[in-house]
Structure 1
Amino acid sequence: MNKSILIIISLFSFFNQFSQESKKFDYELLGALVLDSKQLISYKIVFNSSDNGFIEGYSYTDLSGENETKSYIRGYYNPKNKNIQFKESDILYTKSKFLPDEFCFVSFKGQFKGDSKKKLLEGEFIGIYDDRDTCATGKIKLVSTKFVEKKVKKLYKKILKIEKITKIDSVVKAEIKPENYLKKFSETRIKSGEKVSVFVYTGKMKMEVWDYGKEDGDIITILKNDIPILENYTVKKKKKTIIVNLDDKNNLIKIITVNSGKLKTNTTKLKLYDFRREYEVVADLEEGKEAAINVVRLKVKKQPK
């Protein structure tokens, strides 16, 4: 495979981690946190804006990395002068090993600039610990995901032209096809040996399980703190609902692939429901392997008087 093809495929690998949300938002932007130390951290925000300028949505830090984290963002946007500000709070999930009180939450002020199609957003941010101490400073640089998708589609057209000269593997070609990678990376994925932590405020959680890919006879076992709650279950397209009691602060849910069916990997989707939020995770596992979701039960924070 020649150098130009490798460069294009590498670019696809970069962009595929920034795919669209299953839920539509008014604004969806991606780019990076540029720390004063010159370190770059991938960053994405999605949010809706109300008539009074209040915005609410989510941020994603270190996309597809070992510290990938999703948090709430809330703030204000003024469409007249294009100024925007928001703060992160309350982690929904993370792949990081750090505790919630060790997280550095972004507080941002900036402005939309330039071409409206790009929705270029730039500004300064301060990272703040839960105890209000500063943990980082730098800039945020983001651009509309729709603009990125157009660029990616142009790259894919270049690949098709190159293929006329150099044969490209059909598997590689299918992987980098825009509609395929956008679908594949639209949710949080945990692979064999990985663990993601989610944070809830309830003692009882509803969990739905179903086959995210082709129904091919995947068989799984799910354990909660090493006790089976679903054993040797053949995953179907139809959702299976389980009520899980969260008796402990940390409730480790293990998903084990007993049989991966006709395909090489098992792609089971799990949806977890708290009384005020929900989480979707795709377990992309090889046969005989496992991944884990650590469901951390938190106390409801009391509002200051």
Structure 2
Amino acid sequence: MFMSAFRNSILLHLLLVLLACFYAPAILAQQEDIVLLGTITMKDQQVYAYKLQFKNTAGKISGFSYTDVNGQNETKASIVGSVNAAHTEVNFTETTIISSAGNVDPQNLCYISGMIKLQPGSANVWQGRFTSYTIEKRPWVSGDIILMGGAEILDGLSMPQKLTPAPKPAALPVYRLDAGKSHEVEGQGESAILEIWDDQIVDGDVVTIMQNGESVLNSYTLQKEHRQVTLRLSGNATNRITVSANNNGSQPPNSAMVKLIWGNDEHLINAETEPGKPAYIILRPVK
């Protein structure tokens, strides 16, 4: 980039139309290269034709920039940079001046560093800002940059996806099972999982669980943590699970939350029992 030339903005925009026609065959012929063509505008409203031509390898870019495209002071520089697919933006920096068509003092050449972002609703309009630095790395001018082309820049790169939260599983209905009552459930499989816990205030409730008259959990004090028991079922026969209260705890009645997992089915039962007055869960197998 050079610092002292002056351009009429109206003539320059006409020039850009001609450039687009002139470079179209070259763009098609070099399909591996990505070409962006447009303008840079400085704070004093001087406008220059500007082109980027580069390759994109897994988000890393390398190639060339051209300032005052097709003008008497056209300057070519090497560039490196990156593509940020998540933010649909390109960052680039000129690193070395390769050639300059005009008789420009090297001390009056500077290096551009810019960021352009794909405009909302567009597939090929990139707009952003640039800053420039002298050969001694001193900041120089800054301004706006707008380029067109490069619809393929983001090809092959991961774009951010809106994550849809997984739907929460529907809450299991709770069946209230009172002392002296029974509740029948159906299921499939040669075994079932029984979980039992105190889902209210832990007040020292003690229970005994029996299957067909045999103890599977004896005198267990209910906790907030789930206690799990595997029930081996009697083939195609009905199984009776008895929930007995050993006491009433400090806050009657004795209340136990029972979860039965049988095959693909789950059942939630709140068994409220009293000493000497158990509740029953009947497991009936189905084909």
TM score, norm. by length of structure 2: 0.43
TM score, norm. by length of structure 1: 0.41
Pick the structure with more helix per residue: 1
